[in-house]
Chains A and B, each alone.
Chain A
């Protein structure tokens, strides 16, 4: 995290009456795929809305893409996309009209807006449905349309608030794959807000955990996993018993998971010891997942600390 931060906040606070939705949030987030994690009501959406000026900030300051939020709202939003959690659309429009209209609102000329609307609808996988009224769409198509309108003006930064809500597993996988590609392939910084750890783990490289309006953790996924070293999940085609016996001899806790994987707590920073054991047993693992559930454990731990502090 050495480059200039795309998001920088200083003492950002937002209150609703006596309730503090954001409590003195100070952050500097560099470009990448950023996961905003937290339980429901933690302040994730409020954080994004304050950055986008959808909600007025009570105190503190924020900068997006190097520009001051509150002073340069229009300029910032030209370069930023947002897909809200709730259903939002402009009624009476067909999908392609709607996305083109959003592009025009972001400053694209009419012809370019129309062309890009169709390109983005292709990109997110909306077919002939684009000619139907937005009001008639299923949840899945609505989520795709929200994504399309968020990226139609080619933003440098895009905020996605629970983009997989209401989708079936296949739809979830497709949307997450698209979102992952936005940063990895096309260099668009993505802030993905979700309470689903798996979604965030699949897509994001940086993690921000928020609870009760406070930032509890901000680090890369890699670092978080490193903190939870000493466990691995091994996928084997055969030889589960032999490995369990070997682990027993080494006093390693070995547990068969419902999905057939073996979870082994080898208590070492590297996987070398575990690999040696597998080599001695002449077992070829199909997959080794280091530090499984590291994010979940960090998340739970952070929440517990937050509760204890409260």
Chain B
């Protein structure tokens, strides 16, 4: 007796593949995270920063054109500045590869490192929609009774976290690179900036992969929606507090902070030391300014502790995987 006088109908269509089903899980995870207004605002802020980067790249591109509006505008502000700008322009025209690569590399590094807190905060907001809520509502039973395995489920959730980080982190960098180079006066900018983009992709993808794994582990720690973001943010803040203290006591303790470890990986990926050296040796006037960098900073840039950071991050990922294996099951 169908209650609304509706009849059951058989379905004989073709099933979609397993990757489509994994994508469904990933899309749902991202969708439920983006229902949070704060999360949407964060994404907007990150893309505004991306726009700002694109604007800076546009301005730098304009410096390479002798009679660009930027040079004229600088001249209207201060004629001596215009002389400096013209000097710089002529030098940049001689060394476009160095200027484009170095500025974009520096810019992308600054964005990646300084927008990391935003991405970590965003992951905290998304934490309940990763695994926590599913544990709370026994949704694991539903997933496990469908045509997906636990591995498919975890992969889908992992992609959710990765996708959110792409929106807040790597997306704006790639957007800025594309927009900045499209607006540049020369198509060769795309080629000259390949190293900067490569560094950003290397660092962004590896950091996002690590952060997504850690976030998944933390989101499986508890069934309570308020607990897992709290644990995540607390871990992050404690790590941040420990860093300066540990520097003068037990430096290895700094590796308990995943943000510190990621920063070390960032320094190693972007090879800022090399860029600064090149700038110091080749760029007139600016090179002189760069010689004033404190030796400790210069040493840190030249010798990032990426080995220790990598070991610490791998250990954290192993711990996260263990938590997931213990907590994420249908029963």
**Contact surface of A with B, Cβ cutoff 8 Å:** 49, 52-55, 73-75, 77-78, 80-82, 84, 86-92, 101-102, 104-109, 112, 116, 119-120, 122-125, 127, 135, 149, 151, 153-154, 174, 177-178, 181-182, 185-186
Contact = CB atoms under 8 A, between A and B. Distances in A.
Given A78-B15, A90-B137, A92-B133, A84 B7 contact: no
B137 A89 contact: yes
Secondary structure class of chain B's binding surface, majority of residues: loop
Interface in B250-264: none
B147 A74 contact: yes
A125 B3 contact: yes
Contacts of B20: 107, 109
A177 B6 contact: no
17 contacts: A87-B138, A89-B142, A92-B35, A92-B129, A101-B28, A107-B15, A108-B13, A119-B6, A119-B9, A120-B8, A123-B4, A151-B8, A154-B11, A154-B12, A174-B1, A178-B1, A185-B8
Contact of A122 (B6, B15, B32): B6
A273 B21 CA distance: 63
Nearest to B331: A55
Contacts of A107: 15-16, 20-21, 147
B6 A108 contact: no
Interface residues of B, number: 41
Contact of B16 (A75, A89, A108, A123): A108
Nearest to A134: B137
Contacts of B94: none
Contacts of A92: 32, 35, 129, 133
B21 A54 contact: no
A268 B1 CA distance: 36
A112 B20 CA distance: 14
A82 B9 CA distance: 18
A67 to B, nearest CB: 12
A105 B148 contact: yes
A104 B15 CA distance: 9
A178 B32 CA distance: 33
B148 A54 contact: no
A105 B3 CA distance: 26
Contacts of B24: 101, 104-105
A202 B2 CA distance: 17
Contacts of B2: 122-123, 125, 178, 181
A190 B162 CA distance: 40
B331 A122 contact: no
Contact of B146 (A102, A135, A174, A177): A102
B8 A108 contact: no
B25 interface: yes
B149 interface: yes
B134 interface: yes
A84 B8 contact: no
Contact of A186 (B10, B143, B148, B331): B10
Given A123-B2, A125-B2, A74 B138 contact: no
B110 interface: no
A123 B7 contact: yes
A90 B14 CA distance: 25
A102 B142 contact: yes
Most chain A CB inside 10 Å of its own CB: which residue of B10, B18, B136, B144: B144
